[in-house]
Copies of this chain bind each other. A is one copy, B any other.
Amino acid sequence: MRNEFHDTLDGLVVDLADMCGRAAAMMTSATAALLSADVYRADALGADLADLRAIGIAVHDRAYHLLARQAPVARDLRTVVAALHIGADADRMGGLASHVARVATRRHPVPAVPGEVVDLFTEMGSTAVQLAAAAGAAVRSGDAAQAERVCAGDQLINDLHQQMFARLAGPHWRHGPMVAADVALLGRFYERFADHAVEIARRVYFQATGRHLGVQPAQSI
Contacts and interface: CB of A to CB of B under 8 A. Distances in A.
A169 B175 contact: no
B183 A181 contact: yes
Contacts of A5: none
A179 B178 CA distance: 11
A184 interface: yes
Given A67-B67, A177-B168, A185-B184, A212 B57 contact: yes
Q: How large is the interface on A (under 10, 10 to 19, 20 to 34, 35 or more residues)?
A: 20 to 34
Interface in A187-217: 188, 212, 215
A84 B221 CA distance: 14
A85 interface: yes
22 contacts: A57-B215, A57-B219, A61-B221, A64-B77, A65-B221, A67-B67, A67-B77, A68-B73, A68-B77, A71-B71, A165-B178, A165-B181, A169-B178, A175-B177, A177-B177, A177-B179, A180-B180, A180-B181, A180-B184, A181-B181, A181-B183, A188-B188
Copies of this protein chain in the complex: 2
A99 to B, nearest CB: 10
B175 A168 contact: no
A50 to B, nearest CB: 12
Given A177-B177, A181-B168, A188-B185, A221 B81 contact: no
Contacts of A88: 85
Contact of A67 (B81, B168, B185): B81
A17 to B, nearest CB: 21
Contacts of A71: 71
A26 B175 CA distance: 34
Contacts of A57: 212, 215, 219
A175 B61 CA distance: 49
Contacts of A182: 184
